[in-house]
Structure 1
Amino acid sequence: MLPSHYRRCYGCGPDHGAGLRMRLTVGQQASIHAQLEVTDDHQGAPGLAHGGLLACALDEALGTVAWLLGTPAVTARLETEYLTPVPVGSVLHIHARCTGVTGRKISLVAEGRRNGPTGSPAVRATALFLAVDLEHFTTHGRVHDVAQAMADPDFDTIRRAFGINP
């Protein structure tokens, strides 16, 4: 199981009050397995997960796969296909993997299934991520947030384990 790459991350951070708090586990050959418990706070239509929230969960899993490749990366394109509604109270099992790397471009796919990892597919995504340097975050984000993330022991654990060079 992977610790959060940033404790305030909306997708996986334990310190984000309204976050998804996804649990992510390393799979084989640059892949991730993740779980999202769909709660009342995740509703779009009554009793159903919000589609944008599902896209966010897939994006989080896809971004974590990019980390496994040893470089920070950001979403350049995310295409989501909704196959069936995801009800509140269910657990979405997500599998994300890398399908190729060309220069800075990282191609990825993900699928979320209801009722377990072998259950019926509910949502799919294809994505293009771009590898970036740490300067991307300090230039476009808040410098003190980047410094706080890098000082977190969990960040250092992930960085060393997967050879990430910020």
Structure 2
Amino acid sequence: MRHPDAPAPGELLGAHYAECFGCGGDQPHGLHLEARAGEGVSVTAEFTVQPAHQGAPGLAHGGVLATAMDETLGSLGWLMHVIAVTGRLETDYVRPVPVGTTLHLSAYATARSGRKIYCSAIGRIGGPEGPVAARADGLFIEVKVEHFVDNGRAEEIEAVMADPDQVRRARAFEVNP
């Protein structure tokens, strides 16, 4: 279910962490994926394949495409006001994605059972109605913020917790313990 305080449809969700390879702006070779809230529990996102994202010459690396799907699926947590991590990701590659292509992604939650969130995504070339390049199904597991404190690098966790904007975003999830 969409949380009552979830961002409005069309609203940019922003990066959950500046150093994130998927959505962070501080990663020079990251995806810089931008996700927007959709209707219900859905999001849309875009990223443009750069030369640093190549696998075969001139084509996106499959792992980069899986990362884009994972990041888009993970953005669904903003709409449910939960912190969740990837438990399983299954990706189907339908067609190659050339460097320079903008991949249009959409994701939606399909079910929830306890801490488990089931979701699906699709990536299209050239526009929201373009040809399908990849599909993914994911299982995300809800965790508490302590998951990152206990398992992350202390100096980076401390830096994030010292950032008032990051603390504000983390506290937004505390309304739904």
TM-score range, shorter chain: over 0.9
Match of 2:157 in 1: 146
Taking the aligned partners of 2:165 and 2:92, their CA distance within structure 1 comes to 33
Higher relative contact order (CA 8 A, sep 6+): 1
Aligned residues, how many? 164
Q: Distance in 1 between matches of 2:119 and 2:43?
A: 11
Q: 2 CA distance for matches of 1:57 and 1:96? A: 11
Q: Name the SS for the 1:164 alignment partner.
A: helix
Paired AA for residue 64 in structure 2: L
Q: Does 1:135 align with 2:146?
A: yes
Alpha-carbon contact 2:160-2:167 (below 8 Å) kept: no
Amino acid at match of 2:35: L
What's the CA shift string for 1:14-48, capped at 9, x where partnerless? 11122111111111111111101011111100110
User: CA shift at 1:150, angstroms?
Assistant: 3.5
TM-score by length of 2: 0.87
DSSP 3-state at the match of 1:5: coil
Q: Give 1:117's aligned residue.
A: 128
Aligned CA distance change for structure 1 residues 154 and 58 (closer, same or farther; 3 Å)? farther
The verdict on how the C-alpha distance between 1:2 and 1:110 changes in structure 2, with shifts beyond 3 A counting, is: same
1:2-151 to structure 2, matched below 5 A, reads: 2-151=13-162
Cα shift at 1:156: 4.6
Q: Deviations over 1:94-136 (max 9, x none)?
A: 0011111110000010000001011111100000000001111
Q: Match of 2:40, as an amino acid?
A: Q
**CA distance 1:119–1:61, change in 2 (3 Å):** same
Question: Structure 2, unaligned stretches of length 5 or more?
Answer: 1-11
Distance 1:74 1:24, change over 3 A: same
Verify the 8 A CA contact 1:5 1:149 in the aligned structure 2.
no
Compared with structure 1, are the counterparts of its residues 97 and 154 closer, same or farther at alpha carbon in structure 2 (3 Å cutoff)? farther
> Alignment RMSD, CA only?
1.6
Give, in whole Å, the separation in 2 of the partners of 1:96 and 1:153: 29
